[in-house]
């Protein structure tokens, strides 16, 4: 299935300078990883300090990632980048959400899925399908379904998978997508293809895709169980309108959009590092995704420069 409908227009977004203005309003935070906390190579300036301030204020934090990797692997990446385990309560990944569904087999889409799995994964990450009771399929002609879980944008591409996808579409094989991101921000600032783009192209061929992660409801149900808070007490923070903001609407929680992530090039930036509010509001209208707040970056910033709507 494709992504759910985008959120309906709500109150005009406000533009606080940083998280200091929001920390007292919410008790729990769902924070995206790539594009908000780090770029895969380095933490963004102020991100570690901002998490430290949230934790010092007694706030609950879940890092909610569309990564196909396991939670423990994402935790190791976070640690290497300076995000200690004390800075968040849980790390929930789209990949773990997909693996949980495959293990449980208690949802209609999975009960008759079969066991022979054709894996689409980054070289060296074949272990992401381990311990699921699956039988690896050497080629698409012997598979019952596709598990699309990770992608090396340097050596793999949608074009490279096109022949396999065409054969799968003819056979009407379902695909399980454990990372719905269509693109990710690389450290060089360019957008690289991600597994969700493979899934999107497969859908255009007539294929059926079962998505996991943001903006789909299952992963938010997991997060809310872990937080043990009411939706009104939780704020989602992310840089993707399609995933983070639309997903927050699906879950009935407020969203803060980080303008300096995947949509950075779509916006106009002012001297001093602020993002132009009118450009953000135009982007929200074009995409149909309307966050409650918009911040340039995930940083604390004690003294608000502005808190106005466009």
Residue 40: pLDDT band (50, 70, 90) is: confident
Q: Tell me what the mean pLDDT of segment 140-160 comes to.
A: 95
Least confident range of 6-10, 70-74, 136-140, 275-279:
6-10
Q: For residues 310 and 300, give the distance between their C-alpha atoms in angstroms, rounded to a whole number.
A: 22
Mean pLDDT, residues 252-269? 95
Residue (of 100, 243, 249, 99) closest to 184 by Cα position: 243
pLDDT of residue 46: 97
Residue entry with tokens 């929200």? 284
User: Which among 73, 64, 76 has a CA at the least distance from the CA of 37?
Assistant: 64
> Sorting pLDDT into bands at 50, 70 and 90, what band is 187?
low
Q: Is the pLDDT of residue 63 over 90?
A: yes
Rounded to whole angstroms, the Cα distance separating 96 from 102 reads: 10
Predicted confidence (pLDDT) at residue 290 exceeds the cutoff of 90: yes
Contact between 36 and 258 under an 8 Å Cβ cutoff? The reply is yes
Find where tokens 């022979």 sit: 116
Is residue 1 over pLDDT 70? no
Q: What is the pLDDT of residue 110?
A: 95
- 9-37: average pLDDT: 92
All domains in the chain, ordered by first residue: 19-95+214-295 (3.40.50.1000), 114-211 (3.40.50.1000)
The pLDDT, as a whole number, for residue 184 is 77
As a whole number of angstroms, the distance between CA 295 and CA 169 comes to 41
- In this predicted structure, the answer to whether residue 153 has a pLDDT above a threshold of 90 is no
- Sign, CA torsion 123/194/179/141: negative
Give the side-chain half-sphere CA count within 13 A for 98: 29
User: Is it the case that residue 12 has pLDDT exceeding 90?
Assistant: no
User: Residue 28: pLDDT band by 50, 70, 90 thresholds?
Assistant: very high
pLDDT at 186: 67
Distance, CA of 258 to CA of 294 (rounded, Å): 6
Q: Which residue has the tokens 């301030």?
A: 53
Is residue 218 scored above 70 in pLDDT?
yes
Q: What is the pLDDT of residues 67-93, one digit of tens each?
A: 999 999 999 999 999 999 999 999 999
| DSSP one-letter code for 54 | H
DSSP 8-state assignment for residue 274: P
């Amino acid at each position: 299935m494709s992504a759910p409908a985008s959120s309906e227009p709500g109150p005009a977004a406000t533009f606080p300078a940083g998280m200091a203005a929001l920390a007292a309003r919410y008790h729990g935070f769902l924070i995206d990883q790539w594009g908000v906390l780090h770029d895969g190579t380095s933490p963004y300036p102020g991100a570690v300090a901002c998490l430290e301030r949230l934790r010092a204020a007694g706030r609950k934090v879940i890092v909610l990632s569309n990564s196909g990797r396991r939670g423990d692997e994402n935790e190791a990446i976070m640690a290497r980048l300076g995000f200690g385990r004390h800075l968040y309560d849980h790390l929930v990944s789209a990949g773990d959400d997909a693996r949980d569904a495959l293990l449980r087999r208690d949802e209609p889409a999975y009960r008759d899925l079969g066991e022979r799995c054709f894996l689409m994964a980054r070289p060296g990450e074949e272990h992401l399908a381990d311990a699921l009771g699956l039988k690896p399929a050497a080629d698409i002609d012997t598979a019952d379904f596709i598990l699309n879980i990770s992608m090396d944008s340097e050596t793999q591409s949608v074009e490279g998978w096109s022949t396999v996808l065409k054969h799968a579409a003819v056979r009407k094989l379902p695909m399980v997508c454990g990372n719905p991101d269509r693109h990710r921000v690389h450290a060089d600032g360019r957008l690289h293809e991600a597994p969700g783009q493979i899934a999107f192209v497969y859908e255009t061929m007539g294929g059926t895709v079962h998505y996991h992660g943001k903006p789909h409801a299952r992963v938010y149900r997991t997060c809310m169980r872990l937080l043990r808070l009411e939706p009104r007490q939780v704020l989602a923070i992310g840089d993707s309108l399609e995933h983070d903001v639309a997903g927050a609407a699906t879950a009935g929680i407020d969203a803060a959009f980080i303008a300096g992530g995947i949509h950075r090039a779509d916006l106009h930036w002012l001297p001093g590092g602020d993002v132009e509010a009118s450009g953000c509001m135009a982007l929200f209208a074009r995409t149909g995704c309307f966050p409650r707040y918009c911040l340039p970056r995930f940083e604390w910033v004690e003294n608000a420069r502005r808190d106005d709507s466009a």
